[in-house]
Every structure is written in C-alpha cells, then in structure tokens.
Amino acid sequence: MAIKRGVLPGFGLSLGYTILYLAFLVLLPLSALVMHAAGLGLSEFWRVATDERAVEAYKLSFGASLLAALTNAVFGVLLAWVLVRYSFPGRRLADALIDLPFALPTAVAGIALTQVYAPNGWFGEPLARLGLKVAFTPIGIFLALVFIGIPFVVRTVQPVLEELDPSIEEAAAVLGASRFQTFRRVILPGLMPAVLTGFALAFARGVGEYGSVVFISGNMPMKTEIAPLLIVTKLEQYDYAGATAIACVLLFASFGTLFALNMLQRWSRRAAA
C-alpha cells in the first residue's frame, strides 16, 4: 500500500523554519533590547523608567489607547454588523475603506487628521468656535488612535458574524425574546472572543503608535507627549539607556496584554465546551 505524502514539507522541517524565522526576526531583536535594559541594573532601570516625564507619557499613551480601543470595540461591532447583515449601495466600497488605515502610511494619516482638526481646518475651525480644541490636545491623540485601531475590531468580528446562523436569532424571537435580549444572550456571547481579540490588538497597536499621532499631538512634554515620541527624543539626545528602559516598559505592557488575552480566550473555549 503506497504511503500518501503531502505537498508541503513535513513537521520537522516546517517547525525548523518556524523557529528559525521567529528567532531571527522576533526573539533576537527583543532579547537584545531586554539584555541592554538589564545591563542598567534594577535601580537605574527603575529610576529611568519611572521618571516624571516618562510617567506622564505612559499615562497619555496607555489612557488614550484604552479609550480608543474601547470605542473601537463598540463601533467596530456596529460596522461589522452593518457590513454583514445589510445590503446597500456602496457596501463593497465601505468594506474596502475599513482596511485603509492598514494600507495608508501612518505619517499620511497624521498629516490628514491634523489638517482636518487644526484650528483652521474643516472641522477644527467650527469646533474651535464652540470652545473645543482637538488638534494638539489629548483629544486629537484619541482620534488618531481610533482611526488606526478600528480595522482590528472589524476584521476580527466580521468573520464570526458571517458564520452565525440567523435561524438561532429567529428561534429566540419565536420564543418571545426581545431584540436586545437576543443580542445580549444569543449573539454577544458568540462574538465576545472576537471582540476581545480586536480590542487587545487595537490597544497594543495604539500603545506603540507613532506616525499618525506625532503630528496631531503637538508633542508638548508633560502634556501631549506620547511614550514612543519620548523614546525617539531620548535617542536623538543619545540617551540610549532612557530610550531602552521606556521601550522595555512598552514591550512588557503589550506582551502582557496579548498574553492575558490568550489566557482569557483559552478559558472561554473551555467554558463553552
């Protein structure tokens, strides 16, 4: 009896390529960063990483990223719902525009948002007359992070919505459930893992975002200076120790977020089983 062989390489070769790829492109650069930070010593690392200017940058980066990710978690589900459940003229165009923040250079996005929301911009001028300043404030940073984070939620929720069986919703309606009850008890539990994934990805991307934020933030230390910008500033000042320490804080925060998400997803799968 002939043994059927797959077209792709076997497990050993595939695993070897995978480990080699991860080692050279991911693990080695990150390990070098951590080892450089470890060379500072614990006390020096703590002093640099918890400097007053750095702490304010952390608060702004993590706070704005959290608010933007929460906003995207709500409106991303709404956008995915509209794209999946309704047919309307221009739906394919709207679906394609969702991916625009992925393809658009972040610097271009930052310049465009600044032009629109600057005090003399299309939206910035009428908002300024109402006493609301957007550009060069934390509000502008929030808008930039919403812009670059929305595709993560839509693209993780959309496939799950497409796989949901509408007959389940019809059965809930026949049994007397209201639309809100159907969404909360039937649809939302199935969407929650995808929503959490999109939220975590949008949050992690927002924490490390630089190009789209640097133009609209104003870059004022202790006010509108984000952590990635502070890293660049310290590098320009040849303060490699300070830049490394702040970079490690962002690295650990992003890794911790994704690790917690994976644990939560594993727990939800076990609970569903």
pLDDT tens digit sequence for 138-154: 999 999 999 999 999 99
Q: Would the CA dihedral through 111, 116, 119, 124 be positive or negative?
A: negative
Query: 20 lies in a domain?
Result: no
Domain extent for 150: 50-272
> pTM for the full model?
0.84
Query: Per the structure block, which two tokens stand in for 212?
Result: 């789209």
Query: 69 lies in a domain?
Result: yes
Segment 79-131, tens digit of pLDDT = 999 998 888 888 899 888 998 888 888 888 889 898 899 888 888 889 888 88
Query: 3 lies in a domain?
Result: no
Q: What are phi and psi of 197, to 5 degrees?
A: -65, -50
Query: 35 lies in a domain?
Result: no
Query: 192 lies in a domain?
Result: yes
Segment 6-48, tens digit of pLDDT = 555 566 777 788 888 888 887 787 787 788 777 778 888 888 8
Could you tell me where the DSSP H helices lie in 86-187? 91-98, 100-103, 106-117, 124-129, 138-163, 166-174, 179-182
Query: 135 lies in a domain?
Result: yes
Where does residue 211 rank: exposed (0-12), middle (13-18), buried (19+ CB within 10 A)? middle
Query: 54 lies in a domain?
Result: yes
Residues 6+ positions from 182 with CB-CB distance below 8 Å:
169, 172, 173
Query: 23 lies in a domain?
Result: no
Q: What is the CATH number of the domain that holds 253?
A: 1.10.3720.10
Strand, helix or coil at 12? helix
Domain count, the chain: 1
